[in-house]
Amino acid sequence: MPMSQLFQPLLLGALELPNRIVIAPMCQYSAEDGRATDWHTIHLGHLALSGAGLLVLEATAVSPEGRISPADLGLYSDEDEAALGRVLAAARRYSAMPIAVQLSHAGRKASSRAPWDGGTQIRPGEPGGWRTEAPSALAHAEGEDTPTALDHAGLARVRQGFVEAARRAARIGLDGIEIHGAHGYLLHQFLSPLANVRNDEYGGSLENRMRFPLEVFDAVREAFPTDRPVWMRLSATDWVPGGWDVESTIAMARALKARGCDAIHVSTGGVSPRQQIPLAPGYQLPFARQVKAAVDLPVIGVGLITEPEQAEAVIAGGDADAVALARAILYDPRWPWHAAAKLGARVAAPKQYWRSQPREFKDLFTGAAYVQR
């Protein structure tokens, strides 16, 4: 069997990943005032034992008003920092997997209910709700409350929130930062002409719309240790005519590379309920391939990647340098083990689980040396 490309190492800046499987950020809506809870210890603990190359924590708000929901994870207070630090310490006691965090501000999509409660907006004045903020005073969807357009003081406050969160991430030993510039959240709102109709230096032209997200990147990069990577997730298209597109994404990726960005995580959509997304296995990978061809940076691809052979083909065919799994790894938290078995590769596993190694895959686990008495 040819050597698996999915299980080859990958460098993100100075951080070496043991393989090309990335656990994508997945919101859990299980925090208390931004603080990680026992759920996060369980959830992240078992994902850290999966054998993936990198675990990226869920969208983590840089301010209370930047949360998607009242139950979002945050990294904007000493209490948040201490709680997440405890979760990381528990995971790292048994796993050497690199762990990064996705820093985010939800913008006009903030103040929402959890998906299992309908995901609808909680309006200001309703229990748990607050007035959202955005590039422009445009509601995300018809009938929703209109956000406050950020003035220059507001932009400085948001930018500083990202800086403080990056410093907290460094203090608790996170290995990298992904800045969330996708899925219709605040930085994506600045990029997209569907959400940004400003007439100052942060709106209008592509250069102006990229200005604030690039300022945030620069500020985070300066605040985070230089030997740890910082990268950005972008939606390569809004799936709406006249919206953000792949050509703009490539321009943004080139600007990020010039500022020391270590990778681009390519997703799509989220800024408008008018989006028309043609869902199919790997439906976002053509955009990842275009970005990879145009910009000399590692590209993380995502989008209904569920099967080991499919993931292997993504890497071997040059669509992306790594694949990000979300729902697939929630459904099967040992997905990397099963992929390694199918592809003839080896994968890390905790010694407490070595004896689970099937006889037909006796060399599956790296370091396994278990004798049953």
Q: Which of 185, 202, 283, 331 is catalytic?
A: 185
Q: What SS3 state is found at 23?
A: strand
Residue type, 18: P
Secondary structure element (H or E) that encloses residue 17, with its range: strand 15-17
Any idea which residue has 């955009």 for tokens?
Answer: 287
Q: How big, in percent rounded to 5, are the helix, strand and coil portions of the chain?
A: 35, 15, 50
Asked if residues 83 and 35 have their Cβ atoms less than 8 Å apart, the reply is: yes
327/303 Cα distance (integer angstroms): 10
304/283 Cα distance (integer angstroms): 7
Burial, 33: exposed, middle or buried (Cβ in 10 Å; 0-12, 13-18, 19+)? middle
Known active-site residue 94: no
Give catalytic residue positions. 185
